[in-house]
């Protein structure tokens, strides 16, 4: 989540490609390793609070905008657009 928040805050940063790669690898590994029995041990609300409090992004949702399924789908653009909506997604595609 932290790399998603970094990418959301600074989509044109020199490190943005690295963050995307890190997100992609992590989500792919998570999807490959996920088992339904793990679901009860994953507290997305707690993870979200941890990541959001360490982020300098103003205006983030107060609750985690993603379900486990959405995260495991691994579509970075959908994950980013859930942070603030379509206006942010449009801004990210303009360089």
pLDDT digits (tens, 9 = 90+) for 7-39: 999 999 999 999 999 999 999 999 999 998 888
> Chain centroid to CA 26: how far?
11
CB proximity list for 48: less than 8 A, separation 6 or greater: 1, 63, 64
pLDDT for 95 beyond 70: no
pTM of the model: 0.78
- Residue 21: CB partners within 8 Å, gap ≥ 6? none
């Amino acid at each position: 989540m932290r790399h998603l928040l970094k990418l959301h805050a600074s989509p044109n940063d020199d490190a943005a490609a690295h963050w995307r790669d890190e997100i992609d690898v992590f989500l792919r590994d998570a999807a490959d390793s996920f088992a339904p029995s793990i679901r009860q041990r994953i507290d997305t609300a707690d993870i979200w609070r941890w990541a959001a409090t360490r982020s300098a992004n103003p205006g983030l949702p107060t609750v985690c905008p993603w379900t486990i399924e959405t995260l495991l789908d691994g579509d970075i653009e959908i994950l980013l657009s859930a942070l603030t909506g379509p206006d942010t997604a449009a801004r990210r595609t303009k360089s």
